[in-house]
Every structure is written in structure tokens, then in C-alpha cells.
Amino acid sequence: GANSKINLGLIGCGGRGQWIADLFLKTEKYNLVAVADYFKDRTDEAANRFSIPENKRFNGIHGYKKLLELKEVEAVAIETPPYFHPEQAANSIEAGKHVYLAKPIAVDVWGCNTVESAAKKATANNLCFLVDFQTRANASYKECVRRVHNGDIGKILLGEATYITGPTWGHMDKYLRQNPNNVDARIRAWGLDAKLSGDVIVEQNIHAIDVATWFLNAAPIKAVGSCFKKREFLGDCHDAFSVIFHFPDNILVSFCSKQNGAGWDDILCRIYGTQGTADTHYFGTVKIIGDEPYDGGRLPNLYTDGAVENIKTFYKNITEKDFSNPTVPPSVRSNLTAILGREACFRTKQSPDQKFAEITWDELIKSNQKYSLDFIT
């Protein structure tokens, strides 16, 4: 009923997993009843923090499947490296659990398709499936997008999306330096691993790309770009990306990101129209400048507030039996858009003399690209 608490299982007990579990508990609408992580020390750390008994903590690559066998677990929060999301989400729905999934939903085309199918199955089986994008839960962002869709900035001409930050994941570098070829080290340092994370453009920059696809309400037709690795960290992720996405109606969106250096941090999306400009910042203001202005104010703490909002919505959807799962299709679209950008960059990097080489949306979808990690069985 509306007053009863939902029994939650946590899959992924790292920094974000524990942080999310804490936010779930603070709403006072959930009990945390079981935890799972690849690493025993992580599982135990979370279990001890949240008073989970020995027989409700699981580790190892398939540990989460034991968590899914527990009858009392009604819902799961999946906060693992993105490579694992599709399989874990699909198996959770298969086991009859509601799913709260961290972004990005996947690292490859196959993963996006798997999540999309799992969510359709969820709807058919009266289960909730929510993808946690903080911006999409925010009232100012929602209103700004509504106004753009309503024609408040006129005809859209051009867009830009940017994610500028310093060197993230430095703490993971030490695991690789201590033991570069060790499986456990590689999984601990997942943020520096292009296959486990999807690379920076998919794992992190998707926040900016997602807002652009939300404003345009479309997928790109093709993309061209390039990327480089300039920082000293080990691993195969790139820290500088630049992409031009070609959307329908000849709308170009320029995207750039860095995960290195100092002096300026911003996650922004700007959409330029014939009568105005929408200007949105994850850590700042959301507004429209032009004939029909809008001031959505300054967002002091979207990172936390957006997650809390999504956690409350998840509860509401479960208790009110709303199984429409509207967060999934746009998340699939923006995830594939980020992958399209990544593949465009990789194609250029691999071409002779790094000559720019475009990739089309249709080509990407047809490829049904699937990453496989030989060390994970």
C-alpha cells in the first residue's frame, strides 16, 4: 500500500552505490535488505554501514543473482560499472524486481537494445524501470524544455553541448599502476577502462548529450569527430572529445568535452533559435534569453536533488502501479547518441592521417556492436 516500505536490494556497493542507498533510506520509504558487489570488501563495507546480515550480502561476478533469488527483495538499485548494467537489469526484471538504474544504461548498441527490451518486458509484467538522469527530474529543466517544444525560441537553428571538467578517477589510477594486468585492478579502475565505462563521452558526457537530444526530441542522423588522450593516467579512456552531430532539419549540435586540466568546470547545453536561446547549466542557471524569456533560477545541488526526486518518483510509480516507464526510451536514445559520437571519434583516430570519417545512425544500429570482456566469465 501507499504507506508500506519497499524492500530494496543494492547491486554495486562502491562510492555511488552507498551514496544512493543512503538517499533511498533517507526518504523513509524503503528498507535496504540485501547488498551485492564484485568485491567482498565493498560488500562488507556497505553491509556493515547499513546493518545487513551475513546471509544477505553477496560478492563475485554472479553474486547479484543470489540477491535476485531473495523473495523479500522487491526492487533493486543498480550502481555498478556501466558494462554490467544491461545484463543485470535484464536479469532483475526476469526475476520480477522493479529496477532503478544508474546512467549510462549501457556501453554498446547491444546493451542499449537489451535495456530497451527489458523495460518493455517490465511494463508487460507490471514492473517499474527508472533510469536516473538528474536533469530530467528537475522542474526548471522540464519547464525550459517544454517552452522550447512550445516554440518559445522559434525555429531551432543550432545547438551546443559541453562537458568540461578536471581529471576525474585519479584515485583509480593507483590500482592499475600497482597491478596493470590484474582483473580485479581493472574492475576497480573501471572509470579508466573504455569497455567497462563506455569511455568518457558515454559514461560522463552523456549528461550534456542527453539534454541536447531532449530539447531536439530527435536522434542524430550522423556524426563526425575526434578524440585524444592527453593525461597521464593509465587505462584506455580519452580525455578530450569534439563531435559535430547532424540532426534532422539540418540542425547541427557541436559537442566538446575534456576530463583533464584546471580552471573551468561546466556541463552546459545551449539551443539557439530564431527568437531566442535556451541556456542550461547543470551546476548553474537554467534560462531562456529572447522574445519569450524564462528564468528557471540557479540550481544549487542538482546532483543530489535530481536523484532524490527520481527515488521518490520510483516509489510513487511502484505504489501507484504506474508501469509506463517513460524514462527508458529517451535514455536509450541519448545513450546511442553518445555511442555514435564515440564511434565517430574512434573511426577518425583509426583512419589514415586521422582524416575525419563520419558514421551514420543507421550504420551504428545495424552494427549491433557488443563489447566482450574475455576476463569476465
State the total domains in the chain: 2
> How far apart are alpha carbons 115 and 86 in whole angstroms?
5
pLDDT above 70 for 1: no
Arithmetic mean of pLDDT, 78-100: 99
Are 99 and 117 members of one domain? yes
Are 189 and 112 members of one domain? no
Task: Supply the DSSP string of 348-372, one letter for each residue.
Answer: HHHSGGG----EEHHHHHHHT----
Are 34 and 123 members of one domain? yes
Are 149 and 203 members of one domain? yes
Domain CATH number, residue 56? 3.40.50.720
Strands, E, within 123-228: which ranges? 129-132, 156-165, 222-228
Q: Which residues of 317-331 are buried (b: 16+ CB within 10 A; e: fewer)?
A: bbeeeebebebbebb
Instruction: For cell 590484474, name the residue.
Output: 182
What does the pLDDT look like over 163-220, one tens digit per residue?
999 999 989 999 999 988 899 999 999 999 999 999 999 999 999 999 999 999 999 9
**First-to-last CA distance in the chain?**
40
Domain end, chosen from 135, 150, 172, is at 135
pLDDT above 60 for 2: no
Are 110 and 173 members of one domain? no
The confidence score (pLDDT) of residue 374 equals 79
Domain end, chosen from 135, 170, 203, is at 135
Residue 158 lies in a domain: yes
Are 266 and 145 members of one domain? yes
Domain CATH number, residue 351? 3.30.360.10
- Give the domain range for residue 39: 6-135
> How far apart are alpha carbons 257 and 236 in whole angstroms?
16
| pTM greater than the 0.85 cutoff | yes
> How far apart are alpha carbons 50 and 285 in whole angstroms?
36
Are 242 and 347 members of one domain? yes
Are 270 and 362 members of one domain? yes
Residue 312 lies in a domain: no
What does the pLDDT look like over 105-155, one tens digit per residue?
999 999 999 999 999 999 999 999 999 999 999 999 999 999 999 999 999
